[in-house]
Copies of this chain bind each other. A is one copy, B any other.
Amino acid sequence: MSSTSPALTARYGAHAAPADVALTPLIEQLLAHRSVRAFLPDPVSDAQLAAMIAAAQSAASSSNLNVWSVVAVRDAGTRARLAEFAGGQAHVRDAPLQLVWLADLARLRRIAAQLGRPSAGLDYTEMFLTGVIDAALAAQNAAAAAESLGLGTVYIGGMRNHPQEVAALLALPPEVFAVFGMCVGTPDPARPAAVKPRPPQSVVLHHERYREDAQDAGIEAYNAAMARFYDAQKMNVHGSWAVHSAKRVAGPESLSGRDRLVEALHALGFKLS
């Protein structure tokens, strides 16, 4: 059951793949994940969507509160608007299905009101965070399910560039927030996506206690691995992964409008106490 595999080598590069890994077909499938941004126009069937949602609902939910929802968008006009809101991403427009994953406190607010019960706990940042986590766990199961069906996906964090506009377009009630989108469709075989290398496990995995300096050698190796990846993919990326990442968090102007997130959440009815 323990061995190396081509999927591990693709994920870490030849020199940084862990030597002894317990593998299963499911793990091999997860290792082979790649973000797909080029789709055929073929629709995603209702049975495929039902499978993704059933997988999503099978993820853990904090105290079984189920404080998440999802909007399945197939309408081409709505997809085009979402693509604009997300910074003009063509694959949001072109993928036959866009799943917009929601942190949803409105359902429990409404249920409590119908029961004549208080729900002031929903005013707290903790419950907003619970909704975000519930939505993320659900979405990741859905992504894995989709890939097992031969579909491709890519997460769309750009859904947070204009949260109020997304909420208006999808008729979200107060206290419902689009955490991210997800393009779903059949990958275009003419434009295949590559498995992106990740840092060595020593960068993200700590034993017993966190250690900052234990990450340095792995980060250096990762910069080299990503340089080789950019070259192999003929991607025109300047600077190392470290430089590229530092640029992405340089300041509010590098956040694509998401520096105004708290303001937008308040406008959407979240108290964030």
Binding site for B on A (CB under 8 A): 1-2, 8, 11-12, 18, 20-27, 29-33, 35, 45-51, 53-66, 68-75, 78, 102, 106-108, 110-112, 114-115, 117-122, 124-127, 129-130, 132-133, 136-137, 139-141, 143-145, 148-149, 154-155, 157, 160, 170-173, 176, 179-180, 196, 198-199, 201, 203-212, 215, 219, 241-243, 245-252, 254-255, 258-259, 261-262, 272-273
Contact = CB atoms under 8 A, between A and B. Distances in A.
A226 B138 CA distance: 20
B210 A71 contact: yes
Contact of A18 (B8, B50, B205): B50
A137 B35 CA distance: 14
B250 A119 contact: yes
Given A65-B249, A121-B251, A124-B258, 11 more contacts: A21-B54, A25-B148, A27-B54, A31-B58, A57-B198, A68-B204, A74-B207, A118-B250, A121-B248, A129-B160, A140-B140
A219 B137 contact: no
Contact of A33 (B24, B49, B58, B255): B58
Nearest to A63: B248
Given A20-B50, A250-B121, A57 B201 contact: yes
A73 B199 CA distance: 21
A47 B231 CA distance: 32
